Structure 1
Amino acid sequence: MYVTVFEPSTFVNRPALGIYPPADWVGRLQAALLSTERRDDTPVTPEEMSSSKEGQPLGCPNLAVLSFNNSFYDRTVGCLGITHSKYIHKLDFPVPDWPVARFPALKYPLEDHVRENQEEERRCLTMVEELIDAWNRKGMPVAAVAVEPIQGEGGDNMASRDFFQGLRDITPLWRWRGIGLLVDEVQNGCGATGLFWAHEHFRFSDTPYVVTFSKKMLTGGFFSKESFVPKDAFRVFNSWVGDPSKAALLEAVVKVIKGDNLLDRVKVTDQHLLNGLKQMQGKYPGLISNARGLGTHCAIDFKDAASRDKTIAKLRERGVHMGACGAATLRLRPALILENKHVDIFMESFDRVLANMNS
């Protein structure tokens, strides 16, 4: 039993945190977000002040953010500039002309395609460097590389630690390029992979410069290295910049995750879940393939979107709610309290639906 006492005012009032934060706001952040164990000033010239209001250099420099095919970040204009998963997100919107690299398309099972996958990841890293050089030459230097630990909306696409460390090696601030690595944990964060943050699996030689989060974290935001923190007020800002009630709820969630050792539970159920998916693809080879996952953040591909969508509908009729992503991928996003017995219940329903699909 975990009891957290909240002041009623936390939920009744939503202050404009950027201007009038409550007295306990810093303490709330430390108890919730910061407890997950993650974290040459030059004067602005008059020319920069004036030109920035017009959206022109010097104030607004010609810089680019490099991203990957099949990525998804959201629907605001800046985020659409690095979103490349579905046309419907971007149709009819103007977006920045920024470089797009290939995200590795791995072959499964991984143990049978080690050499091919290593070559694929090297090709993708080479493309990243070539694009950075190309955009430098065209006068629009790459300021950051944005990447998802697992491409959720784009099809639950995964890559190895070597690939992500390769990105980290390309983007250190102490090299001449001065490029920041931005890791999007909106879908991957909060424990589903067996670690609180998915990028922890990559054991980076140095942490990313910015990490974004939302969804299961109950509030949206980011944390960053000190060097990325703006020195001036209102640089990263809106009237609300957060919600004390959501931070209070997140504090309770984090306490339960830690107190009930839910991340350890994920490390038990993940293999049972992935093994079950592999057994199903062995039983229905013409219908499903490419079972994969990190923790219980798992997925499997169907032969086509119609088969995937019909399977989802039939599973819902049996009380199992599933999701779709990518071209023909079924994605699994179970709660952290998932146990092996729940996996067995799902696999029984999954097996029956697939059998009818295959008949």
Structure 2
Amino acid sequence: MIRTAYKSGITRASLSKRYLGNVSKLYYPEEVTGPVLVSENVPGPKTIELNKKLGEHFDNRATYFVTDYKNSLGNYISDCDGNKLLDVYAQISSIALGYNNPALIKTAQSEDMVNALVNRPALACFPSKEYGQILEEGILAAAPPGMTKVWTALSGSCANETAYKAALMYQASIKRGDNDFTAEELSSVMDNALPGTSDMVIMSFDKGFHGRLFGSLSTTRSKAIHKLDIPAFDWPKAPFPELKYPLSEFEAENRKEEERCLAEFERIIDQWPTQIAAFIVEPVQSEGGDNHASAFFFKGLREISKAKGVLMIVDEVQTGVGASGKFWAHEHWNLPTPPDMVTFSKKFQAAGFYFANPDLQPKQPFRQFNTWCGDPSKALLAKTIYQEVTHYGLVGRTAEIGDYVYGNLQSIFTKFPTQVKNLRGEKFGTFIAFEFNTANERNAFLVAARNKGLNIGGCGDQSVRMRPTLVFEREHADVFLQIVEDTLKQLYP
């Protein structure tokens, strides 16, 4: 319907003015107004049967339900039985503009997209004549403050691993100075030995999650099941603050906890003199339980690391692209100097890391390299996402909706004071979470909410996290809030 409007000559500006109060209705005039439940339970019988067949050839043990994406629209996801659920999980925070977004469909049907898909280039060797402009109008236009360069990658894990490589090569180049590689370095590295390899390390935080490849997995500390049986680097781990909620009631205690963690962070750096190339931190530890810290803590990390010559990598794979009420969540910190690198993926559909210092790009070609070095088709989608987000002011709208949801959840949870606790994410867009007393209680809530038409996900040991789209409006919030309350009443009559 929207695509017909484009073809009929109605301009984007007139569409925007007509639907300024509700961008979701602009995109999705036929979106359902609430969940549609066809089967007695979700997943339903058709989904269960399809998933059983899928399991014969594909590991489907993590499947929530088999999805009918053609029948999904806006903020509602459809399973293969025809159930339509309000989706506030959004492919683990990866859907920015809703399902079957008309602007993204228009991009997908463009000649530029056809060219990018059927002639996928090895970008470092054969970049297309359009790639520079695609980056400038999309990924680079969205760059965090102080960032002017980007390395494009394939996934969030890949973005983090290439950032690690950049940090390690940068620190080695400082030690080496103007000297060339030695014969011993060139020989020993082929045996995976020093001095050609490195004894430098990447530091991460307890309960952090940065991916599942070998380097990123060595910095992931969220769940043991992620890491079991996989060889790991002997890299250090720093404590992340365990704050008490609500934050306004525990300011003194939380400041003391953050000061303790900062002191330990500095102590660990001093324990590994000249060996810590960089540290990586999430603005909110998402997979690890939606763990927050204050701007004071992150400013402290920046000041200490800057003084010690340790690079700062901010992992914005899950927090980036508007969900926090800022385009990049680390903008909430107002750092005195920008991070050295910021990694991204998920809601941008593309991946990579931003930086400013040209020395983070190795002097020799082919050191930071793979066949694809990203994907022009995903960069085209990122460009459209950025342009739609900025055109409709979706970051500011997300901040407003987040305040509305947070305030109403506060009210609902007063009715369940012993069952639900630690609501967090105030003034942080829709990046909101809460938790139960046990994992079993949390899991029971997720299943019961799904059967009422709400798709929502967990994190950490016993937490529930919101990850809606950027076109999650007040009407969707009201449906969400009602299902949350109804589910809690069912579980705790």
Q: TM-score range by the shorter chain?
A: over 0.9
Mean Cα deviation higher: 223-232 or 348-357: 223-232
Q: Which stretch of structure 1 is more off in the superposition, 115-124 or 77-86?
A: 77-86
Larger Rg: 2
| Residue 89 (structure 1) aligned with residue 195 (structure 2) | no
C-alpha separation between the residues in 2 aligned to 1:125 and 1:44? 37
In the other structure, the counterpart of 1:51 is: 188
Partner residue of 2:319? 188
Matched, 1:205 2:312: no
Identity %: 40
Give the equivalent residue in structure 2 for 1:222. Answer: 353
For residues 332 and 277 of structure 1, the distance between their equivalents in structure 2, rounded to whole angstroms, comes to 12
Deviation at 1:124, TM superposition (A): 0.3
Q: How far apart are 1:167 and its partner, in Å?
A: 0.4
CA contact (8 A) 1:213 1:222 kept: yes
**How far has the Cα of 1:251 moved from its partner?**
0.8
TM-score where L is the length of structure 1? 0.95
Q: Which residue of 1 aligns with 2:289?
A: 155
In structure 2, C-alpha distance between the alignment counterparts of 1:6 and 1:223, rounded to whole Å: 28
Query: How far 1:42 sits from its partner (Å)?
Result: 4.3
Tell me whether 1:20 sits opposite 2:123 in the alignment.
no
Match of 1:63 in 2: 200
Q: Distance in 2 between matches of 1:125 and 1:28?
A: 40
Q: CA deviation at 1:6?
A: 4.2
In structure 1, C-alpha distance between the alignment counterparts of 2:221 and 2:401, rounded to whole Å: 32
Shift of 1:55: 2.2
Alignment partner, residue 295 of structure 1: 429
Distance in 1, matches of 2:389 and 2:208, equals 29
Superposition RMSD in Å: 1.4
Q: Give the Cα separation in 2 of the matches to 1:249 and 1:41.
A: 41
Contact 1:322 1:332 in 2 (8 A): yes
Following superposition of structure 1 onto structure 2, how do residues 1-359 of structure 1 map, counting pairs within 5 Å? 1=12, 6-7=111-112, 8-38=114-144, 39=147, 42-136=179-273, 141-172=275-306, 175=307, 177-226=308-357, 227-293=359-425, 294-359=428-493
- Residue 135 (structure 1) shift: 2.2
Which AA in structure 2 matches 1:351? E
1:292/1:299 contact within 8 Å kept? yes
Measured against aligned partners, the alpha-carbon deviations of 1:117-174 in whole angstroms (never above 9, x if no partner) come to 00000000001111111122xxx721111100000000000000000000000111xx
Work out the CA distance in 1 between the residues paired with 2:456 and 2:178: 49
- Tell me if the contact between 2:122 and 2:371 (Cα under 8 Å) persists in the aligned partners: yes
Return the structure number with greater relative CO, CA threshold 8 A, min gap 6. 2
Per the alignment, in what secondary structure is the counterpart of residue 184 of structure 2?
helix
Query: Structure 2: which amino acid aligns with 1:217?
Result: F
Using the alignment, how far apart are the partners of 2:184 and 2:391 within structure 1? 54
What letter is aligned with 2:235?
W
Shift of 1:53: 2.1
The worse-fitting range, judged by mean Cα deviation, of 192-201 and 58-67 is 58-67
Partner of 2:174: none
Give the TM-score, by structure 2 length. Answer: 0.70
Q: How many residues align?
A: 353
Q: Which deviations, in whole Å up to 9, do the C-alpha atoms of 1:230-270 show, x marking residues without a partner?
A: 22111211100111111111111111101111011012111
Letter in 1 for 2:409: L
| Structure 2: 5+ residue stretches without partners | 1-11, 13-102, 148-176
Q: Contact (CA 8 Å) 2:143, 2:354: kept in 1 or not?
A: no
SS at match of 1:265: helix
Question: Distance in 2 between the 1:57 and 1:160 partners?
Answer: 40
Report the 3-state secondary structure (helix = DSSP H, G, I; strand = E; otherwise coil) of the residue aligned with 1:28.
helix
5+ residue gaps, structure 1, are none
1:147-202 CA distances to partner (integer Å, 9 max, x unpaired)? 00000000000000000000000111xx4x32100110010011100111111111
Q: Which letter maps to 1:235? A: R
Deviation at 1:43, TM superposition (A): 2.5
